[in-house]
Amino acid sequence: MTGNPEAGEVLWSPHDAAARRSLILCAAGAVLGLVIAGIGLFTAKGTRTSAVPAEDVALVNQVPLLMSDYLLQLRALYDVSLSEATPEQKKKVLDDMIHEELYVQRGVELGMQSDTIEVRAALAGAVEAQVAADAAMALPAESELHAYYDAHTEKYASEGILELEDYQVAPQSRLQPSAVAAALRHGGNPAQLDLIRTAAMKDGEEFYFAAKIHLADALYDAATRLQSGEVSEPLRLADGIHILVVKQNTHPLPRSYAEVRDKVLQDYIAEQVKILAAGNDRFLRKRADIAVARGFE
């Protein structure tokens, strides 16, 4: 194949065995390359790895089934560890996982995410949950949490407690209500003052929210303004005249940061989730091509 043309030597001669061999090898290489390319082209399944990574128990169409999920399933179904599980148990769990993965993939092929309400709801929920998970991942510094607590101390106050007696002046009473209230303040006996105790607050001390339900707004507002041991002025309402005798009124008090830190963290993260979710929503809308029919804008 080598030669000097100026000296009249030919570059390639079919009579030269080495030249023939090199041509055949070259052609065989080209054919082999074409065959491999053809097989790759017509049987391609995307990029794939031949070995199952150590963190996975299997690959289904290259989608990994995680070893941690496999261990969890063994624990959940049979309460066994990997070494305690029998071959049948292992097979059952793996078969179930492969079955589920195949059906999920088939579901996506069939477009279940477009047709099935439950799948759509689960997908939307999962994306929202992912945002929540991202927010939970970024734990705030202690100073940030404390600042949040300082800005929302009323939210972390204790629940107020009320204990009182709610009296109604008897309709037939001839006593002046203000005189009755004054007598009560001096230790007068309610029965001798023509007072009837209502059923509200009969169970003793109650949290503010419960007292508000039992007393209704007008009496509740009046009661929370009184201090422990005080008697209200007569309160004229639609159902008659009421007088409140407050035994105990414990106002809501701020709770210390140490006592409520878990709640502060929860609320802080919930707020971050809202911010992230709103940002996510804006981003999705911005990049989407949304066309709304006329009249429905």
Partner 1 sequence: MPIKRPRSRRSTAISAVLAIAVLAIATVALVLHVQQRRRGDALLRADPDRVLASRELRSTALAIGQPAFVRECAGCHGPRGGGDPLRTTPDLRDDEYLYGSGKPDEIEQIVLYGIRAGYSRGKNLASMPAYGRAKPYAGEAIPPLGPAEIADVTQFVLSLSGRSTDREATARGRVIYQGASGCYDCHSGDGRGDPGIGAPNLADAVWLYGDGSARSIAQSITYGRAGICPAFVTRITPLVARAIAIYVASLSHDRQS
Which residues are near partner 1 by CB under 8 A?
54-55, 66-69, 71-72, 75, 81-84, 126, 129-137, 139, 158-159, 161, 203-207, 209-210, 255, 258-263, 265-266, 269, 273
Selection from 65, 92, 68 nearest residue 78 by Cα = 92
Rounded to 5 degrees, what angle do the CA atoms 255, 273, 269 make? 30
Q: How far apart are CA 87 and CA 82, in angstroms?
A: 10
Closer Cβ to partner 1, 16 or 69, answer by number: 69
Closer Cβ to partner 1, 219 or 241, answer by number: 219
Q: How far is the CB of 218 from partner 1 (least distance, A)?
A: 19
H helix or E strand, kind and range, residue 57: strand 56-60
Q: How far apart are CA 211 and CA 231, in angstroms?
A: 17
Q: Are strands 206-207 and 161-169 parallel, antiparallel or unpaired?
A: antiparallel
Q: How far is the CB of 83 from partner 1 (least distance, A)?
A: 4
Q: How far apart are CA 115 and CA 250, in angstroms?
A: 56
Closer Cβ to partner 1, 20 or 214, answer by number: 214
Q: How far is the CB of 77 from partner 1 (least distance, A)?
A: 13
Closer Cβ to partner 1, 209 or 283, answer by number: 209
Q: How far is the CB of 72 from partner 1 (least distance, A)?
A: 6
Calculate helix-pair angle for 87-110, 67-78, nearest 10 degrees: 120
Q: How far is the CB of 158 from partner 1 (least distance, A)?
A: 8
Closer Cβ to partner 1, 69 or 230, answer by number: 69
